[in-house]
Structure 1
Amino acid sequence: MTRYLVTGGCGFIGRHLTATLLEGGHGVTVLDDLSSGNPASLPPAARLEEGCVTDARTLARLAEATDGVFHLAAIASIAAVEADLGRAHAVNAGGAANAVAAATRSRVPLVLISSAAVYGDAGSGAVSETHPCAPLSAYGADKLQGEQHALDAAANGLSAAIVRPFNVYGPGQGADSPYAGVIPSFIAAALSGTPLRIDGDGSQSRDFIFIDDLIRLLSAAMEQRQPGALIVNGCTGTATSVTALAQEIGRICGGDIRIDPGPGRAGGVQCSLGNPGRAEELFGFRARIPLQDGLQHTVTWQRGTAS
């Protein structure tokens, strides 16, 4: 039986990945400090070790007993990062360095979850992995530093796949979490009949990828076991404006929606759109779930949790 280590496995993406790996007959050890993840949502077959990725010894020990490492643990909340930049840097950049070191020492492949935030404001076109990175946030800068750790280790034999997810959504992403994205927040507002808050004129657009599609990509990335490193976007290649997203959510929720416009965010990214070509070339991967279908699944789940 193949056994994997999933850091941050109690988080939104980590829980889905853990469940998928277990369903595939693999063993899974989860390392999570439970600062934001919910251990009750983990499948019973997963082995949970409470701890932080800043603990290099624990990571190294756990990696020794696995056949591959998925590194997802991070502080992704903008507010949490800004509130304690030192702690965020230690987790986001330092944790990645520890995961890289642990996988290198144990000679197992690593899938490192980075972020589209490394691109910064890349313009309105679909950005490819070769586009220059110019992160606008401390979070993006830390993620880029984590990538560099993996690239350096890959030059010395580590098999590393770096995945840059764009806007991930789906069932299990709670609207009450400080890490919640725009979709669960919009759904919660639509279901409760409260206005949807949109910053700016609503023309800003994002590439939304359904959680099941991202998990397929992460699983495919783990199959890359040749020495060296590769970088792929986790995206659909389709941009949706925030206004169009709000309207679609309103339609699915079955009622008229009210939009409460707010001031635009200074220094924000107007368009975030990924080019999925490399993932298709390397893994034959293409996102399968249209936004409308993914939103329907998400609304159904969120309505059930609210009832």
Structure 2
Amino acid sequence: MAHHLVTGGCGFIGRHLTAALLEAGHEVTVLDDLSSGDPATLPSAARLEEGCVTDANKLASLAEDMDGVFHLAAIASIAAAEANPERAHAVNAGGAANAVAAAARSHIPLVLISSAAVYGDAGPGAVSEDYPCLPLSSYGADKLQGEHYALKAADNGLSATIVRPFNVYGPGQDAGSPYAGVISRFIAAALSGTPLRVDGDGSQSRDFIFIDDLIRLLTACISRPRPGALIVNGCTGIATSVKALATEIGQLCGDNIRIEPGTGRSGGVAHSLGDPGQAAEMFGFRAQITLADGLRRTIDWQRGTNSQ
């Protein structure tokens, strides 16, 4: 079995990934600065190293004893990145550069978690990995720069798989966090009897992928390293409008759930839909959890959390 380094392992995706790797019999070391992650939710079998990915020496030192690196650490809130762009750039772009350098120095495979934000507003059609990247946010721009670091290092021998997740959701996502997605916020509102507020006309659409599906893709990426670089979308290939999402969550949470118009927003990404073909071709990966099933699992978890 292998020993993997997971940066940002105390975050939502990182905790699920760490648990899956441990369950498969691997050893896991987590590097996290605990600025947003909760160490109490980290599986006890994982080794936690407190520190930030901006510390290139620490990352390099940890990578020396590893068989692979998953780089997830980031300031993932667009609002937080815009509020402190210098810090966000140092973590999101600089941290990626350090993770790439650490993996290259130790000659071990890297799985770099990027974001669908690199595409910007690509319209309602499904985007493949060769679609021109025109990010609308500094967060997306920093993620794209991180990809460039990995691609450059891959030209010099690094095995790098870049994964661009779309809208990830599932149990363990804190609805009260600034990093929370629309699904966890809608569920929290529905369970508390608060109206679900939909911005604009609700026609904006997203590709929602359940956390378990994304973790299957990430573990497949590290288990089949290849020379050079590969970019894959982490998506379902199915678009859901925000209005349809609110309606389904309302139905699943019970009667008398109200949906109200929120403040209409201008700009931003109206549609975000991924083409899953590359992941299917390279890793045999297809998302298996339907939105309805994933919502039920997430609602059950949030109900249990609220009752504690």
TM-score scaled by length of structure 1: 0.99
Q: How many equivalent residue pairs?
A: 307
Superposition deviation, residue 72 in structure 1: 0.2
Contact 1:63 1:102 in 2 (8 A): yes
Give the AA of the match of 1:147: E
Task: Name the residue aligned to 1:253.
Answer: 253
Q: The residue matched to 2:260 in structure 1 has which SS?
A: strand
Q: Give the Cα separation in 2 of the matches to 1:96 and 1:56.
A: 10
Task: Name the residue aligned to 2:288.
Answer: 288
Contact 2:247 2:259 in 1 (8 A): no
**Aligned-residue RMSD, C-alpha:** 0.7
Give the AA of the match of 1:22: L
* Equivalent residue runs for 1:32-181 within 5 Å: 32-181=32-181
Give the AA of the match of 1:215: I
Superposition deviation, residue 256 in structure 1: 2.5
Q: Give the Cα separation in 2 of the matches to 1:265 and 1:151.
A: 35
Superposition deviation, residue 227 in structure 1: 1.6
Q: Give the Cα separation in 2 of the matches to 1:255 and 1:238.
A: 27
Superposition deviation, residue 223 in structure 1: 2.2
Contact 2:54 2:90 in 1 (8 A): yes
Task: Name the residue aligned to 1:231.
Answer: 231
Q: The residue matched to 2:34 in structure 1 has which SS?
A: coil
User: How far does the alpha carbon of each residue in 1:137-172 deviate from its partner, in whole angstroms, 9 at most, with x for none?
Assistant: 000000000000000000000000000000000000
Superposition deviation, residue 251 in structure 1: 1.0
Task: Name the residue aligned to 1:11.
Answer: 11
Identity of aligned residues (%): 78
Task: Name the residue aligned to 1:222.
Answer: 222
Q: Give the Cα separation in 1 of the matches to 2:215 and 2:226.
A: 21
Further displaced range: 215-224 or 258-267? 258-267
Superposition deviation, residue 197 in structure 1: 1.4
User: How far does the alpha carbon of each residue in 1:169-220 deviate from its partner, in whole angstroms, 9 at most, with x for none?
Assistant: 0000010111000001000110011111111110111000000000000011
Task: Name the residue aligned to 1:196.
Answer: 196
User: How far does the alpha carbon of each residue in 1:214-237 deviate from its partner, in whole angstroms, 9 at most, with x for none?
Assistant: 000001111232220000000000
User: How far does the alpha carbon of each residue in 1:9-57 deviate from its partner, in whole angstroms, 9 at most, with x for none?
Assistant: 0000000000000000000000000000000000100000000000000
Superposition deviation, residue 70 in structure 1: 0.1
Give the AA of the match of 1:193: G
* Equivalent residue runs for 1:21-32 within 5 Å: 21-32=21-32
Give the AA of the match of 2:66: T
Task: Name the residue aligned to 2:186.
Answer: 186
Q: Give the Cα separation in 1 of the matches to 2:200 and 2:21.
A: 40
Q: Give the Cα separation in 2 of the matches to 1:198 and 1:53.
A: 36
Give the AA of the match of 2:180: A
User: How far does the alpha carbon of each residue in 1:224-260 deviate from its partner, in whole angstroms, 9 at most, with x for none?
Assistant: 3222000000000000010110111111111222122
Q: Give the Cα separation in 1 of the matches to 2:4 and 2:56.
A: 17
Give the AA of the match of 2:189: A
Q: Give the Cα separation in 2 of the matches to 1:247 and 1:226.
A: 43
Q: The residue matched to 1:112 in structure 2 has which SS?
A: strand
Q: Give the Cα separation in 2 of the matches to 1:273 and 1:132.
A: 14
In structure 1, runs of 5+ residues without a counterpart are: none
Contact 2:18 2:46 in 1 (8 A): yes
Q: Give the Cα separation in 2 of the matches to 1:225 and 1:43.
A: 26
TM-score scaled by length of structure 2: 0.99
Q: Give the Cα separation in 2 of the matches to 1:276 and 1:226.
A: 19
